[in-house]
Amino acid sequence: MQDASPPTAEVEPPADEPITARGDLTDAACWIALGIAILVGSITMDRLEQQHINPYTVPGLLPGLLGIMMIVLGGILALRSMRRGALHLAPPPPSAHDRERWRRIWVVTALCLGYGVVLIGHGLPFWLASTIYVTGSILIIQRMSRDPAERRRTQTPKAWAKALTIGLSSSVITHLVFQEFFLVRLP
């Protein structure tokens, strides 16, 4: 407990990962693919001819135009990224900070998706699902801290009890405020 002053606040964080020309080229390919898919979907969409509608009001008209615009803008993005050296310049290797950030991103995304897709809406009471999520998230995120003292603290029963108290109280309060007080349905 006594050994740690957090080394965090004084360190100025490095800039976010730069947006590379190669990244833009990948994006452009995705936009063009999406635009083509939308255009094909619009062209093959039912034109409701059996309903004798005005041909200028076919449902696929605007989506088709949007698909064409995406292809054009994606093409311009591709050309621009190539002019900026997307085909020649290799992206910089990820730093330790980047690797740590990505690890955090995947863990937090998994926690959020786990709560929203697995825990919610499958029979588990809302307050219980939320308690599990909030308690687990607090402990896991604290465990990923750069501060060794904070990491060690997550192994103590006190930290688990504190996380459980916060998880339980936040879930129950949310349940009471939304469902009982403001009459809003919860999953």
Partner 1 sequence: MLQGLAELGHAYLGFLNPLTLAYGLGGAFVGIIMGILPGLSATLAIALLTTLTIKLQTNDAILVLICSYVGALYGGSRTAILLNIPGTAANAASCADGYALAKKGQAGRAIGIATSGAFVSTLFGVLCLATFTPVLAEVALSFGAFEFFWLALFGVTMSGSIVGQDPLKGWLMGMFGLFLAQVGQEGLYAHDRFTFGWDELAGGFALIPALVGAFGLAEVLTTLADPIERKIMDLKDSVLPRWREIAQYWRTVLRSGVIGVFTGLLPGVGEDAGSWMSYAAAKAVSKEKEQFGKGSIDGLMAAETGDMASVPGHIIPCLALGIPGSAPSAVLMAAMIIHGVQPGPMLMIQHPTFIYEVVAMTTLASFTILLFGLFGVRPLLHVLKVPRAILMPIVFLLCVVGAYATASRLFDVYAMLAIGTAAFFLRRRGYEMAPLVLGLVLGHLLDKSLRRGLVLSDGSLLPFFTRPICMVFAAVTLFTILLYVPGFKAGVNWMRRALVQGFKALLPRRG
Interface with partner 1, residue 121, by CB under 8 A? yes
Nearer to partner 1, 2 or 54 (CB): 54
Answer whether 38's CB lies under 8 Å from 186's CB: no
Interface with partner 1, residue 17, by CB under 8 A? yes
Helix pair 61-83, 21-43: axis angle to 10 deg: 160
Interacting residues with partner 1 between 67 and 86 (CB under 8 A): 67, 69-70, 73-74, 76-77, 80
Interface with partner 1, residue 184, by CB under 8 A? yes
Q: Which of 108, 164, 168, 172 binds partner 1 (CB under 8 A)?
A: 108
Q: Which of 142, 152, 164, 172 binds partner 1 (CB under 8 A)?
A: 142
> Where are the extended beta strands (E) located within 48-139?
none
Dist CA 172 CA 170 (whole Å): 6
Q: Which of 41, 85, 91, 125 binds partner 1 (CB under 8 A)?
A: 41
- Site map (CB under 8 A) of partner 1, residues 51-70, x = contact: x-xxxxx-xxxxx--xx-xx
Answer whether 71's CB lies under 8 Å from 34's CB: no
Q: Which of 145, 160, 164, 172 binds partner 1 (CB under 8 A)?
A: 145
Contacts of 78 (CB under 8 A, 6+ apart): 24, 25, 28, 29, 32
